[in-house]
Amino acid sequence: MKAYVFPGQGSQFPGMGKDLYEKSDIAKALFRKADEVLGFDITNLMFEGTAEQLLQTKVTQPCIFIHSVISVMTDPANFNPDAVAGHSLGEFSALTAAGALTFADGLSLVAKRAAAMQKCCETQKGSMAAVLGLDDAVIEQICAQTTQEGDVVVAANYNCIGQIVISGSEQGVDKASKKLEEAGAKRVVKLAVSGAFHSPLMQPAQQELQQAIDSTIFSTPKCPVYQNVDAMPHTDPEEIKQNLIKQLTSPVRWTKTIQNMVGAGINEVIECGPGSVLQGLMRKIDRNVNSSHFGA
């Protein structure tokens, strides 16, 4: 059984999607549609933009979504999922690839999500850090203790066994990082991000996104979508919408998502879109599962 997975923020690179555009008339039409939906020439930004330009959240997220979804839509004969999932932003790509959202609606939601998150980052300074080599329970306890002391910090991304990303106020992340190092973490690495994604500090962005999600039509996907908030498979459009709304302030339960997929019989995981981050995480979660890149 095959699962197709879609990456989140951080997988972008200059020139992304140009090869897809040059090889396919379907891709050309979808890139033109993307420019139309967004109201600016994102195609040129993807092909010719600098790494710095692609780092802006409001640009990064649509770029990764466009690349991920077009890679699948230009080769539909080879896209035959038994399940799909996406890491954070990638959940929107997964839902679109599985037919729960149209390309235009998926991209529109991603653009609104990115803009709301960027606005949130500008009004509420936050940060994130990757914690390596420490048990989940210890990280959760230290985050809870630091938050009780008045500086918000939470476990935000459960990426793989031994790698969790924490998120919160700058002070909260700094304080928790010191405590985590003292508790025996192999490394605590501050991430080059501008905000506290998947933490309570994203509440204003969540409220904006909820309005957009509530007014968008979702269809039943052609296969189960394993969602970030509970790592469980969903096909009911209303459940999917509610989980998407919760996603911005809830942790990404990626380790559990993969474990649940494997438990349901998935033995092949195929990454769709830019980069190979999810293949790397897959090898750390379960080496017995065959992982590859779509189109490779």
CATH of residue 147: 3.30.70.250
Q: Are 154 and 251 in contact (CB under 8 A)?
A: yes
Residues 31 and 48 occupy one common structural domain: yes
Of 190, 214, 232, the domain-final residue: 190
Q: Tell me which of 171, 190, 209 is where a domain ends.
A: 190
Marked catalytic residue, from 11, 88, 199, 250: 88
% of the chain surpassing 90 pLDDT: 81
* Count of domains observed in the chain: 2
66 with 129, same domain: the answer is no
Specify the CATH number for the domain of residue 16: 3.40.366.10
Structural domain range at position 22: 2-122+200-293
Please report the pLDDT score of residue 296 as a whole number: 57
Helix H or strand E encompassing 154: strand 153-160
**Can you tell me the distance from the alpha carbon of 151 to that of 124, in angstroms, rounded to the nearest whole number?**
13
Q: Check if 67 is active-site.
A: no
pLDDT in tens, 37-75: 999 999 999 998 888 887 777 888 999 999 999 999 999
Judged against a pLDDT cut of 80, whether residue 32 lies above it is answered with yes
Tell me: pLDDT of 295 over 80: no
Residues 99 and 236 in one domain: yes
Count of residues for the chain? 296
Residue 71: strand pairing partners = none
Question: Quick check: is 207 in a domain?
Answer: yes
Shared-domain flag, residues 165 and 278: no
* Cα gap 43→262, rounded to integer Å: 36
Q: Are 101 and 86 in contact (CB under 8 A)?
A: no
* Same domain, residue pair 118 and 129: no
State how far the Cα of 274 lies from the Cα of 63, in Å rounded to an integer: 10
Spatial separation of the C-alpha atoms in residues 200 and 144, rounded to whole Å: 13
In a domain, 172, yes or no: yes
Same domain flag for 174 and 59: no
Which two structure tokens, joined as six digits, stand for 212? 């957009």
The answer on 155 and 38 residing in a single domain is no
8 and 105 belong to one structural domain: yes
Residue from 67, 127, 169, 198 carrying the catalytic annotation: 198
Do 84 and 229 belong together in one domain? yes
Q: What is the arithmetic mean of pLDDT over 127-136?
A: 95
Highest-confidence segment of 14-18, 125-129, 249-253, 285-289: 249-253
Place of tokens 């924490």: 166
Give yes or no for residue 153 having a pLDDT over 80. yes
Would you place residue 120 in the very low, low, confident or very high pLDDT band (cuts 50, 70, 90)? Answer: confident
Is position 158 within any domain?
yes
| 205 and 110 in a common domain | yes
Other beta carbons within 10 angstroms of residue 13's beta carbon come to 14
Residue of higher predicted confidence among 167 and 12 = 167
Report yes or no: 226 and 85 within 8 Å, Cβ to Cβ.
yes
Residues linked to residue 165 through DSSP beta bridges, in sequence order: 130, 157
> Residues 179-226: pLDDT tens digits?
999 999 999 999 877 789 999 999 999 999 999 999 999 999 999 999
Q: Can you say whether the dihedral through the CA atoms of 136, 86, 249, 35 is positive or negative?
A: positive
* DSSP code per residue over 179-220: HHHHTT-SEEEE-S-SS-TTSGGGHHHHHHHHHHHHTS--PP
**Rounded Cα–Cα distance for residues 114 and 61 (Å):** 6
Instruction: Establish if 195 belongs to a structural domain.
Output: no
Does residue 26 sit within a domain?
yes
- CA distance to 6, 217, 231, per residue, from 228 (Å): 12, 20, 5
Whether 45 and 111 map to the same domain: the answer is yes
Confidence of residue 267 (pLDDT cuts 50, 70, 90): very high
**Summary mean pLDDT of the chain:** 93
Contact 68, 90 (CB under 8 A): yes
CA distance 126 to 200: 11
The pTM assigned to this predicted structure is: 0.94
Distances (CA, A) of 41 to 16, 19, 44, 70: 14, 17, 6, 16
Closest CA relative to residue 128, chosen from 91, 153, 161, 160: 153
CA 91 to CA 123: how far, in whole Å?
26
250 shares its domain with 169: no
What is the pLDDT averaged over residues 242-260?
96
Verify whether residue 88 is a known catalytic residue: yes
